[in-house]
Amino acid sequence: MKKKILCLLVILSIMPFITFAGGAQEEDGPVTLTIAGRDGAYGDAMQLAADEYKKINPDVNFEILKLSGSSLFEKSVIDMKSGVGTYDIVLIDDPNATQIHKAGWLADLGPLYKEKGLTLDSDFIPTLTQLGRYPYGVNGTLYSLPLVGNVELFAYRMDLFEKYNLAAPETWTNVLEAAKVISANEPDVHPVLFRGSKGNPIVTGFLPLFWAHGGKVLVDGKPALDSPEALKALEYFLELAKFAPEGVSMYQSAQVKDAIYSGTGAMAIEVWPGWIKNLDNPDESAVVGKVKVTKHPAETEKSSPMIGVWLAGIPEASMHKSAAFDFLQFLTSSDMQEKMADVTGIPPTRTSVHEVPALVEKYAWYPAQLDGLNNGVARPRTNKWKEIEDALGTYLQLALIGEMDAKSALMEVNARIGEIVE
């Protein structure tokens, strides 16, 4: 009996120093939250939020890693998979969310909301909170909150459309008609701009028009690129590409942005909030007040812009879940999102922040951005998306440069995606 008591006392004495698998034990006293975040404006926004939070919570310190997208994914996955618990908050790019949510590497936020007596704020744009759930949709378990409200948008020169009495680009048919008129009358202007490099760039520009034509990449988890709708979309894309600059098959974001800002491009089928924040700055733009940024055109289906948000979640292995959850609520609050949008330009994920008069005056495309986020389309919820995107981007570019006709490209990529999902 004495031996049993002695053993129990020894166990109790070392309990505070034991780290259990999954890092479930919380630490008392001052806390340092380690955040695996992005570089650039996203890193600036995270630093701003951390500094503001510390003013009212002096016992909380921060270590913020400002990483490139690929480095962030690699480091956070290695840590979460191993259960080490290095990070207390991680940023997640939307295409990677399914893999991370499905693996169970993030804490279920539901019990943390319940513990704090809180509920998910209805001010979040509904399409974005669905991306933080697994299974995807309104009923899945909530693992992450939307932090950066990226959505793909469309841009066109209003002055040229007015000059030639062109219909507003409400449909993709309107876009092609406008490209033909501008091509015939403006020899120094490229009618259409897009990123034509293989992989993610060309796929990102293609998907909004593909979806608007009724195309689907996957249906019930199986490839669906052998459909009449997909063929019509790709044939349209190749016809539109005749009015793009020579060498568009190598275009990246820098070339598209330069053409928009210099006024040598009439329409861009893909722009993102981060590209256009200085569009009305006369020190950087030659087209101040001339470019309209709007949601994508419709066709047989409604406008279908691509959503590309960044989410924030708490690793299951974190030893500071309670403190991390408090900061996550502060980080995604309307007040903090308004401040981050104003100072760094990152797009918010809340309806109310998109309607703040000072921000709408500063960022004239906010109404279109909100419309795009409310009506945007998420990329297929699969942990194979990176491989699917690489395959689709390869065959799209082969069709773009004339190495394959539209039907052959779609049949071959459909077979390749079938191999990937199998």
pLDDT above 90 covers a percentage of the chain that reads 92
Answer for the pair 350, 124: CB distance below 8 angstroms, yes or no: yes
- Using 50, 70 and 90 to split pLDDT, how confident is the model at 2? very low
User: Tell me: the pLDDT tens digits for 340-378?
Assistant: 999 999 999 999 999 999 999 999 999 999 999 999 999
Residue from 78, 77, 30 nearest 54 by CA: 30
Distance CA 273, CA 295 (A): 12
- Model confidence over 46-102: pLDDT tens digits? 999 999 999 999 999 999 999 999 999 999 999 999 999 999 999 999 999 999 999
| Cα–Cα distance for residue pair 378/126, rounded to 1 Å | 12
Model pLDDT, residue 27? 55
pLDDT of 20: 31
Give the integer Cα–Cα distance in Å for 244 and 259.
11
- Chain region(s) in the chain for CATH 3.40.190.10: 8-149+308-375, 153-306+384-421
**Cβ atoms of residues 212 and 306 within 8 Å:** no
pLDDT at 28: 64
Angle at 348 between CA 34 and CA 153, to 5 degrees: 125
228-266 pLDDT, tens digit each: 999 999 999 999 999 999 999 999 999 999 999 999 999
Please state at what angle helix 200-212 crosses helix 228-241, rounded to 10 degrees: 120
Q: Which of 304, 340, 409, 422 shows the shortest CA–CA distance to 149?
A: 340
What would the two tokens of residue 119 be? 């509920």
User: In angstroms, what CA-CA distances link 165 with 155, 158, 193?
Assistant: 17, 10, 21
Domain 153-306+384-421 belongs to what architecture? 3-Layer(aba) Sandwich (3.40)
Task: Check if the beta carbon of residue 128 is closer than 8 Å to that of residue 146.
Answer: yes
The CATH homologous superfamily for domain 8-149+308-375 is: Periplasmic binding protein-like II (3.40.190.10)
Sign of the torsion formed by the C-alpha atoms of 121, 123, 124 and 130: positive
Tokens representing 5 are: 């008591």
Distance of CA 342 to the CA centre of its chain: 19
Q: In the predicted model, what is the mean pLDDT of the chain?
A: 93
The 8-class DSSP code of residue 6 comes to: H
Position 212 confidence tier, pLDDT thresholds 50, 70, 90: very high
Distance between CA atoms of residues 189 and 214, nearest Å: 31
Lowest mean pLDDT, pick from 9-13, 37-41, 177-181 = 9-13
pLDDT band at 4 (very low <50, low <70, confident <90, very high): very low
Q: Kindly provide the residue ranges of all beta strands, DSSP E only, lying in 250-300, ordered along the sequence.
A: 265-271, 291-294
The closest alpha carbon to 382, from 224, 195, 264, belongs to 224
Mean of the pLDDT values across residues 24-53?
89
Q: What three-state secondary structure class fits 156?
A: strand
The alpha-helical segments, DSSP class H, found in 19-157 are 40-56, 69-82, 94-103, 109-116, 126-131
pLDDT band at 29 (very low <50, low <70, confident <90, very high): confident
